[in-house]
């Protein structure tokens, strides 16, 4: 597809619902008593995969676009699915659902697309096996398809080698079905939506800086969840507003949970002008509007405990770095290699196509900003965040760029191009 250029961006936009929170609202609603109403649910393909998996396990879910109603059946109310559960492209569905499936009194198989079949699942197979789960990888390669058989679980204290909210949430969800308490310690704090929302549904959850734990067998009760806008989706508009001269945009309803707001901290360090307005709390999550004005960006360092708070925003930060003055160093981000694509490779190759000076490293990349940039033929490698990042870059390049497989934005942001080009002048 052809990507558009723009002179500047102007106007206001309300960002669609948060992907992580939308998944969790469906899952926790399904294993609670009574109904859960979810407003501003993200109608992206990943979250729709979660809905279809729970429907296959006997949960009635009404999807009315603006509102989703989940008719929960309680912790022990799921039914054996009659065919494999299809998670599509969704890592969150795969790993969180695995925690739930490990505790069920029925066998099940979980499978997904070609990308999911390559993503590492040992990170959940190991702790679930320690809990007593009967989980195996069908092909013996520690990837999906995953097969679950009934077994009784016991709580563990798990020292996780990776800071991953998907791993943490998987273990906590299995912990609901275990005998005794379950806890997990991470090398750095990952996003805490599971802890916040499970507690709201009635679970006994303890949480510290990089630790979380649950007690088993809670009485979960359906809730009304208003999903905040996804800061990971807002990131593309933040970047576009900063990069295009004379732009001023208001990005409304953005979730700014401190375990997710690394993009703002990195952008401020790069000299970004972003004002937080109308700060409030929505369904237990901090939310605000962001007023973004074009800014001359400078290079920065992105590393350490900050990485989990902006892991999905590194592709767009790398694009910002290419337009910035000076050097940006991204370290400690090896996790980029196991996302929807190997994002060290897919970011680097696309940046080079537009003339940027970038060097891939073992755990990140080094970008020398300020080289002359030009329009290019980009490839999303079927990774939604790569497609959106380089569509933003294309706005500021000197001629028409193209994107191969750009439609994969439907994973997390089906109306992305329309929303972006509506603001363009
Ligand atoms: C997610 C956690 C992150 C993130 C993913 C969504 C979640 O993955 O990259 O897009 O909803 O828990 P990891 O926890 O594996 O880093």
Question: Per residue in 11-22, pLDDT tens?
Answer: 999 999 999 999
Residue 171 CA to ligand 1 center (angstroms) comes to 14
Domain assignments of the chain as residue spans, ordered by start: 2-16+228-422, 19-226
- The predicted-structure confidence for 383-425, as pLDDT tens digits, reads as follows 999 999 999 999 999 999 999 999 999 999 999 999 999 999 9
Tens digits of per-residue pLDDT, 292-316?
A: 999 999 999 999 999 999 999 999 9
Closest C-alpha to ligand 1, atom 15? 164
- pLDDT at position 104 is 98
Please tell me if the CB atom of residue 194 comes closer than 6 angstroms to any atom of ligand 1.
Answer: no
pLDDT reported for residue 362:
98
Q: Which CATH superfamily, name and number, covers 19-226?
A: Enolpyruvate transferase domain (3.65.10.10)
Which residue's alpha carbon is nearest to atom 9 within ligand 1? 312
pLDDT, tens digit, for every residue of 221-232? 999 999 999 999
Give the whole-angstrom CA distance, residue 382 versus residue 390. 13
pLDDT band for position 40 (cuts 50, 70, 90): very high
Q: Residue 91 Cα, ligand 1 centroid: separation in angstroms?
A: 8
pLDDT at residue 66, as a whole number: 78
Query: Which atom belonging to ligand 1 lies closest to the Cα atom of 96?
Result: 12
For ligand 1, atom 5, name the residue with the nearest CA: 92
- Contact call for residues 102 and 153 (beta carbons, < 8 A): yes
Residue 263 reports pLDDT greater than 90: yes
**Ligand 1 center from residue 370 Cα (angstroms):** 31
State in Å: Cα 165 to ligand 1 middle.
6
Q: How many CB atoms lie within 10 A of CB 65?
A: 7
Q: Is 190 in the pocket of ligand 1 (CB under 6 A)?
A: yes
Distance 373 CA to ligand 1 centre (A): 31
CA angle 268, 269, 274 (to 5 degrees): 10
Same fold? 2-16+228-422, 19-226: yes
Q: Are strands 182-185 and 211-214 parallel, antiparallel or unpaired?
A: antiparallel
Q: How far apart are CA 9 and CA 14, in angstroms?
A: 15
Predicted pLDDT at 30: 99
User: Ligand 1, closest atom to CA 232?
Assistant: 10
Cα–Cα distance, 302 to 329 (Å, whole number): 6
Which of 115, 120, 166 for mutating ligand 1's site (highest number of atoms within 8 Å of CB)?
Answer: 166
Phi, psi of 124 (to 5 degrees): -105, -30
Alpha carbon distance 254, 277 (integer Å): 10
State how far the alpha carbon of 411 is from the alpha carbons of 16, 42, 325, in Å.
12, 10, 33
* 166 CA from centroid of ligand 1 (Å): 5
Cβ-proximal residues to 27 (8 Å cutoff; 6+ apart), any chain? 50, 54, 96, 97, 100, 173
Give the mutation target among 27, 91, 122, 186 for probing the ligand 1 site: most ligand atoms within 8 A of CB: 91
CB of 20 sitting under 6 A from ligand 1: yes
**What is the percent of the chain with per-residue pLDDT over 90, rounded to a whole number?**
99
Average predicted confidence (pLDDT) for the chain: 98
Q: Stretch 177-181: mean pLDDT, rounded?
A: 98
| CA contacts within 13 A on the Cβ side of 332 | 14
Could you identify the atom of ligand 1 that is nearest to the CA of residue 339?
A: 9
- If phi > 0 it is left, if psi is from -120 to 50 it is alpha, else beta; for residue 40 that is left
Would you name the residues annotated as active-site residues? 312
Task: Determine the residue of 89, 92, 169, 385 to mutate for testing ligand 1's pocket, defined as the one with the most ligand atoms within 8 A of the Cβ atom.
Answer: 92
Q: Which fold has domain 2-16+228-422?
A: UDP-n-acetylglucosamine1-carboxyvinyl-transferase; Chain (3.65.10)
pLDDT in the model for residue 65:
85
């Amino acid at each position: 597809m052809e990507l558009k250029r723009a002179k500047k961006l102007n106007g206001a936009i309300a960002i669609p619902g948060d992907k992580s929170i939308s998944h969790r609202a469906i899952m926790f609603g399904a294993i609670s008593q009574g109904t859960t109403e979810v407003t501003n649910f993200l109608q992206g393909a990943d979250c729709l995969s979660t809905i279809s998996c729970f429907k296959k396990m006997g949960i009635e879910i009404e999807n009315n676009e603006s509102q989703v109603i989940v008719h929960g059946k309680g912790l022990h109310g799921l039914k054996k699915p009659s065919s494999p559960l299809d998670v599509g492209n969704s890592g969150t569905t795969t790993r969180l659902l695995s925690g739930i499936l490990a505790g069920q009194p029925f066998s099940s198989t979980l499978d997904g697309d070609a990308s999911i079949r390559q993503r590492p699942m040992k990170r959940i197979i190991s702790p679930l096996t320690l809990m007593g789960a009967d989980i195996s990888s069908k092909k013996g390669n520690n990837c999906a398809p995953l097969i679950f058989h009934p077994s009784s679980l016991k709580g563990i204290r798990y020292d996780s080698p990776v800071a991953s909210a998907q791993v943490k949430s998987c273990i906590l969800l299995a912990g609901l079905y275990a005998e005794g308490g379950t806890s997990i310690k991470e090398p750095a704090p990952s996003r805490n939506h599971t802890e916040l929302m499970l507690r709201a549904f009635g679970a006994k959850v303890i949480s510290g800086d990089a630790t979380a734990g649950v007690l088993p067998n809670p009485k979960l009760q359906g809730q009304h969840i208003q999903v905040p806008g996804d800061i990971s989706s807002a990131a593309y508009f933040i970047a576009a507003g900063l990069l295009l001269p004379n732009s001023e945009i208001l990005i409304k309803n953005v979730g700014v949970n401190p375990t997710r707001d690394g993009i703002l901290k990195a952008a401020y360090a790069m000299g970004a002008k972003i004002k937080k307005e109308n700060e409030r709390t929505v369904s237990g999550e901090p939310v605000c509007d962001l007023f973004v004005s074009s800014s001359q960006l400078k290079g920065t360092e992105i590393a350490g405990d900050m990485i989990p708070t902006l892991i999905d925003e590194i592709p767009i930060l790398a694009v910002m770095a290419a337009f910035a003055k000076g050097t940006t160093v991204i370290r400690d981000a090896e996790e980029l290699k196991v996302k929807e694509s190997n994002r060290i490779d897919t970011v680097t190759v696309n940046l080079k196509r537009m003339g940027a000076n970038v060097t891939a490293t073992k755990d990140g990349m080094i970008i020398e900003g300020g080289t002359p940039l030009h329009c290019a033929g980009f490839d999303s490698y079927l990774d939604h965040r790569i497609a959106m990042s380089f569509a933003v870059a294309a706005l500021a390049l000197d001629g028409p760029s193209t994107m191969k497989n750009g439609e994969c934005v439907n994973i997390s942001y089906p109306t992305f191009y329309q929303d972006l080009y509506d603001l363009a002048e």
